Amino acid sequence: MPDVDVCVVGAGFAGLTAALRLTQAGHSVAVLEARDRIGGRTLTEQRDDGSYLDHGGTWVGPGQDRVYALMNEFGVPAFKQFVDGEAMMVVDGRQYRYSGTIPWSMNPLVSVNLGAAFLELRRMCRAVPVHAPWAAPKADKWDRTTLAQWLDRTVPMRQARQLLGMALAGTYTSAPSEISMLFVVAQLASAGGPDFVLGVQNGAEDARPVGGMGAVYRAVAAAVAGDIHLEQPVRSIRQDADGVTVRSDGSSVRTKRVIVAVPLAIASHIDYEPMLPTDRSFLHQRMPTGAVLKTHVIYDEPFWRDDGLTGQSAAPGTAASVTLDACTHEGRPGVLCVVAEGPHARQLSRMSGADRRSAVLEALTARFGRKAGAPVDYTEQNWTVERYSGGGMISHAPPGVLTEFGHALREPCGRIHWAGTESADVMMGFVDGAVRSGERAAREAIAGLSGTLPAAPPLAMA
Amino acid sequence: MPDVDVCVVGAGFAGLTAALRLTQAGHSVAVLEARDRIGGRTLTEQRDDGSYLDHGGTWVGPGQDRVYALMNEFGVPAFKQFVDGEAMMVVDGRQYRYSGTIPWSMNPLVSVNLGAAFLELRRMCRAVPVHAPWAAPKADKWDRTTLAQWLDRTVPMRQARQLLGMALAGTYTSAPSEISMLFVVAQLASAGGPDFVLGVQNGAEDARPVGGMGAVYRAVAAAVAGDIHLEQPVRSIRQDADGVTVRSDGSSVRTKRVIVAVPLAIASHIDYEPMLPTDRSFLHQRMPTGAVLKTHVIYDEPFWRDDGLTGQSAAPGTAASVTLDACTHEGRPGVLCVVAEGPHARQLSRMSGADRRSAVLEALTARFGRKAGAPVDYTEQNWTVERYSGGGMISHAPPGVLTEFGHALREPCGRIHWAGTESADVMMGFVDGAVRSGERAAREAIAGLSGTLPAAPPLAMA
């Protein structure tokens, strides 16, 4: 491969955006991607009937200005998530229909519990500086507390606790006992608070790109001057006095700067020479990914809309614990997206495919009626076993990690710059955060190329 | 390399013991070791004056029957850790001399605090089944609690909390906020309780092999029939219907069974084909190692003994937070071992070598008098930056990990068996646990070779 100014590792939104901005600034780039496709933790399937399914990251919302900027740049419009109806909550076998984020129609005490928890989360978010959550006044206290404990203390009623736990831990696709409360608050704060992250309309699931995320990442990739090499898992990154050599199985690139834009657990598989500073290599050991299984169930039409339902539902403990309307901008065919996260996703993964399908369709039928049991198609995407995601959707910080090692999330290591949504201070965990991280890493690399960053900040001591 | 019955990855105590037991059972083995030496997380330096320094794992104690069995097998005697004097505790600048595990001579309230905490730890240990700590009646509760929180609640006095935190978190070489209380109790219980783990005499630092750990691991290695290949970091393990291919950078071994005997964070760097079951690969992401810096300061003689001191001291917040007498069985030269762990070790690592040495010698002089400032030699071993340890000393489980993924610590994955002290149910975290894990993995592999284990238990689903 020819020498380049910057080598980008990973062709998800972070890496592709970085490569685009470098191209636009006149720099040569090479992108090395381990998979046989681009898109990273987003993946749009284009179907014969003209529809598209987003198997990974899907939505955009207000305040996600950088992914919207990218969409505008390439002429990709957005369409609104369908919200013209009621959502559904199933608790202890009983169904409740409601509008808005909190199901006030349910047991009023449950709703009061949820409302109080939201107030508390909003208050906590205001106390967190998004660029340095570890500097929050109560950072030490929150970082020694798990989300599970916070739920135990803040949400006395079991049903409310279960619902909020599913909503919050769901994002992190791991058990609430694994997750630092400081990380939860930092992630919520990075997106403006719990109302955005847990909301649909005007929230994190407000709209989608027409054509799916693939319409965006394909356009970005096409605008990158320089090759995007697929099936090139990077094995080693060797820095020396003059530059960097990046090696995959069969080839190598000589470059001046590297942007690593893969999940932290995947970045840990790369052999770095010299070794990374301790706090960065320890961070690689300490931000695991979770389990997520995303199923699309396709019908001739979105029959639930006729019943006054949005298709959005939450039913803890069932085989279809979370559902969402996943129709395209044309509204046909009818697509329900069923998301299983964390321990629930691991449990479903242990079933045979046929048993899992039966269980999911049975749960959907109980919720949406007989039509739900007779789909025209059914597809699964199990991110948990994606070798080059290390799991899905995002990495979380267990207790103690942000206060001890969080500062290393973005600090360049010599000629290596770090991207990926986990390194974003705004909209962390979203596609927008990935885009922002790619743009920030590109700015750093450009500064490095022009000599306004030190050539080689300190690396590990021997 | 020739085909073998079993390929062992890692030549620490776990791997070498496994290879020994396989040899003795008549099986052919090949050991692949990433470093340029054997010993893993133990490392004995043989010095020109005939003395020896243990830079890694050092002690043996009552109940550690399997490492003692190995020592007996190869005729390596033990000698007692020097305890004929008083230990020292330095709190807020004041020195207290004491005997036993708890410094009753100090502020009596502090000692009462510590005594009560010990009682509580003993009680918790009795409620934990060592082979399955996740099945303890209160496992869920303890696994959502960090050690830092438990200390906050159980030990009201700051000085007592600081001392116990240092003693407990020290073993795990990470901040108390990172560590699950269930893991702490499981580790203590695996060794019979806190009195053993935190004790010297009759405890975890009761005795040492004459000649150091190296006298044992060199003897074991010499008795292994089959080659021990150094500087062969294993990159991939590919299982197929007939066997396994284990590849390092330059060569490969074809084998029937594999024993992986490296720390979990290092096992995660290997490419497995097919992928490991989710719970095992997630465990690899979730048990990080910590930071530890072990310094030996060598004097003509152990002058502290003449002052009625054992050399054992604890002084939170100083550059020499923990010291121990590290003389050989001959008692000459005088050797003090200074151990820094967790955040303190990372902080010391950021200083220059010269500054660190000055700070350590200054702290020792304040504690042991002027002679401590004039050593004849001074050596450091920073395990934190050992590429093939991923840090030191042992891996810990953050909250939520044991209850969700602990079952995967020992479960074979097809033809792969897991060793390493973290997989031991007895004496986990000690050299003895490593030996036990190697013997257990060897038994599994032998059962597999004779067909009494299923040929290929389920792997990851696609």
Quick: pLDDT tens for B262-287.
999 999 999 999 999 999 999 999 99
Q: Which of B 83-112 lie inside 8 A of A, CB atoms?
A: none
- Residue B149, chain A, CB below 8 Å: the answer is yes
Give the pLDDT band of residue B226 (cuts 50, 70, 90). confident
Structure tokens that stand for B99 in this block? 């005997």
Using the beta-carbon criterion (under 8 Å), do A144 and B146 form an inter-chain contact?
yes
**Domain endpoint, select from B198, B231, B264:** B198
Distance CA B283, CA A185 (A): 25
- Residue B146, chain A, CB below 8 Å: the answer is yes
The most distant pair of C-alpha atoms in chain B lies apart, rounded to whole Å, by 67
Angle between helices A108-126 and A158-172 (to 10 degrees): 40
Q: In terms of DSSP H, where are the helices of A191-309?
A: 194-197, 213-223, 264-267, 278-286, 303-306
Is A75 exposed, middle or buried (CB count within 10 Å of its CB: 0-12, 13-18, 19+)? exposed
Q: Are residues B272 and B299 in the same domain?
A: no
Q: Are residues B228 and B270 in the same domain?
A: yes
Is B374 strand, coil or helix? coil
Average pLDDT, chain B: 95
* B166 part of a folded domain: yes
Q: Are residues A413 and A438 in the same domain?
A: yes
pLDDT tens for each residue of B140-170: 999 999 999 999 999 999 989 988 998 888 8
* B72 part of a folded domain: no
The CATH number of the domain where A22 resides is what? 3.50.50.60
pLDDT tens for each residue of B358-367: 999 999 999 9
Distance CA A53, CA A40 (A): 15
Give the per-residue pLDDT at B459: 52
For B297-356, give the secondary structure using H, E and C: EEECCCHHHHCCEEEEEECCCCCCCEEEECCCCCCCCEEEEEEEECHHHHHHHCCCHHHH
Amino acid at B253: V
Q: Quick count: other Cβ atoms within 10 Å of Cβ A161?
A: 21
pLDDT at B302 over 90: yes
Give the per-residue pLDDT at A101: 75
Give the per-residue pLDDT at A457: 47
Q: Please, are residues A121 and A185 in contact by the beta-carbon 8 Å criterion?
A: yes
Using the beta-carbon criterion (under 8 Å), do A282 and B269 form an inter-chain contact?
no
Give the per-residue pLDDT at A111: 86
Q: Are residues B282 and B322 in the same domain?
A: no
Q: Please, are residues A59 and A257 in contact by the beta-carbon 8 Å criterion?
A: no
Q: Are residues A390 and A294 in the same domain?
A: yes
Of A288, A291, A460, the CB nearest to B385: A460
For testing the chain A interface, which of B141, B142, B144, B266 should be mutated: the one with the most A CBs within 10 Å? B144
Q: What DSSP element (H or E) covers A248?
A: strand A244-248
For testing the chain A interface, which of B150, B273, B282 should be mutated: the one with the most A CBs within 10 Å? B282
pLDDT at B316 over 70: yes
* Nearby residues of A350 by Cβ (< 8 Å), 6 or more positions away: none
**Domain endpoint, select from B375, B395, B415:** B395
Q: Quick count: other Cβ atoms within 10 Å of Cβ A308?
A: 10
Q: Are residues A303 and A324 in the same domain?
A: yes
Q: Are residues A253 and A189 in the same domain?
A: no
Contacts of A183 in chain B (CB under 8 A): none
Place of tokens 């072990």: B294
Distance CA A364, CA A351 (A): 18
Q: Please provide the DSSP assignment of B218-248 as one string.
A: HHHHHH--S-EE-S--EEEEEE-SS-EEEEE
Give the per-residue pLDDT at B310: 97
The CATH number of the domain where A346 resides is what? 3.90.660.10
Cis ω on the peptide bond leading into residue B333 (within 30° of 0)? yes
Contacts of B396 in chain A (CB under 8 A): none
Structural domain that includes position A125: 108-198
For testing the chain B interface, which of A181, A184, A278, A407 should be mutated: the one with the most B CBs within 10 Å? A278
Structure tokens that stand for B404 in this block? 């969700």
The most distant pair of C-alpha atoms in chain A lies apart, rounded to whole Å, by 67
Give the number of residues written for chain A. 462
**Domain endpoint, select from A198, A227, A256:** A198
Q: Are strands B252-260 and B4-9 parallel, antiparallel or unpaired?
A: parallel
Contacts of A289 in chain B (CB under 8 A): 285
* A96 part of a folded domain: yes
Sign of CA dihedral B308, B314, B319, B324: positive
> To 5 degrees, how large is the angle CA A281–CA A286–CA A290?
130
Give the distance from residue B178's alpha carbon to the nearest chain A alpha carbon, in angstroms. Answer: 5
Give the pLDDT band of residue B453 (cuts 50, 70, 90). low
Q: Please, are residues A300 and A363 in contact by the beta-carbon 8 Å criterion?
A: no
Distance CA B388, CA B15 (A): 14
Of A278, A400, A460, the CB nearest to B146: A400
Query: In chain A, count of helices (H) and strands (E)?
Result: 16, 21
Using the beta-carbon criterion (under 8 Å), do A285 and B144 form an inter-chain contact?
no
Q: Are residues A274 and A406 in the same domain?
A: yes
Residue B176 sits at φ, ψ, to 5 deg, of -55, -25
For testing the chain B interface, which of A35, A174, A177 should be mutated: the one with the most B CBs within 10 Å? A177
* A8 part of a folded domain: yes
Q: Please, are residues B231 and B245 in contact by the beta-carbon 8 Å criterion?
A: no
Structure tokens that stand for B403 in this block? 């209850």
Place of tokens 């700070």: B359
Q: Are residues B423 and B336 in the same domain?
A: no
* B60 part of a folded domain: no
Taking CA atoms, what residue in A is nearest to B349?
A461
pLDDT at B101 over 90: no
* A47 part of a folded domain: no
Q: Are residues B274 and B313 in the same domain?
A: no
Amino acid at B107: N
Give the per-residue pLDDT at A462: 35
* A112 part of a folded domain: yes
Q: Please, are residues A140 and A403 in contact by the beta-carbon 8 Å criterion?
A: yes
Structure tokens that stand for B155 in this block? 């030990």
Amino acid at A195: D
pLDDT tens for each residue of B386-396: 999 999 899 99
- Domain count across chain A: 3
Q: Which of B 385-404 lie inside 8 A of A, CB atoms?
A: 385, 387, 390-391, 398-401, 403-404
Give the distance from residue B250's alpha carbon to the nearest chain A alpha carbon, in angstroms. Answer: 13
- Distance set, CA A362 to CA A302, A334, A375 (Å): 18, 18, 12
The CATH number of the domain where A183 resides is what? 1.10.405.10
Share of chain B above pLDDT 70, in %: 98
pLDDT tens for each residue of B35-93: 999 999 999 999 998 999 999 999 999 999 999 999 999 999 999 999 999 999 998 88
What's the ipTM?
0.95
Q: Are residues B334 and B194 in the same domain?
A: no
Q: Are residues A389 and A437 in the same domain?
A: no
Taking CA atoms, what residue in B is nearest to A349?
B461
Give the distance from residue B356's alpha carbon to the nearest chain A alpha carbon, in angstroms. Answer: 13
Residue B299 sits at φ, ψ, to 5 deg, of -125, 165
Q: What is the pLDDT along chain A (462 residues), one digit of tens a residue?
A: 889 999 999 999 999 999 999 999 999 999 999 999 999 999 999 999 899 999 999 999 999 999 999 999 999 999 999 999 999 999 888 999 998 777 777 788 888 999 999 999 999 999 999 999 999 999 999 999 999 999 999 999 998 998 899 888 888 999 999 999 999 999 999 999 999 999 999 999 999 999 999 999 999 999 999 889 999 999 999 999 999 999 999 899 999 999 999 999 999 999 999 999 999 999 999 999 999 999 999 999 999 999 999 999 999 999 999 999 999 999 999 999 999 999 999 999 999 999 999 999 999 999 999 999 999 999 999 999 999 999 989 999 999 999 999 999 999 999 999 999 999 999 999 999 999 999 999 999 999 999 876 555 445 433
- Distance set, CA B363 to CA B47, B342, B360, B370 (Å): 26, 19, 5, 11
* B64 part of a folded domain: no
- Residue A265, chain B, CB below 8 Å: the answer is yes
Which among A132, A129, A131, A123 is positioned nearest to A150, based on CA atoms? A123
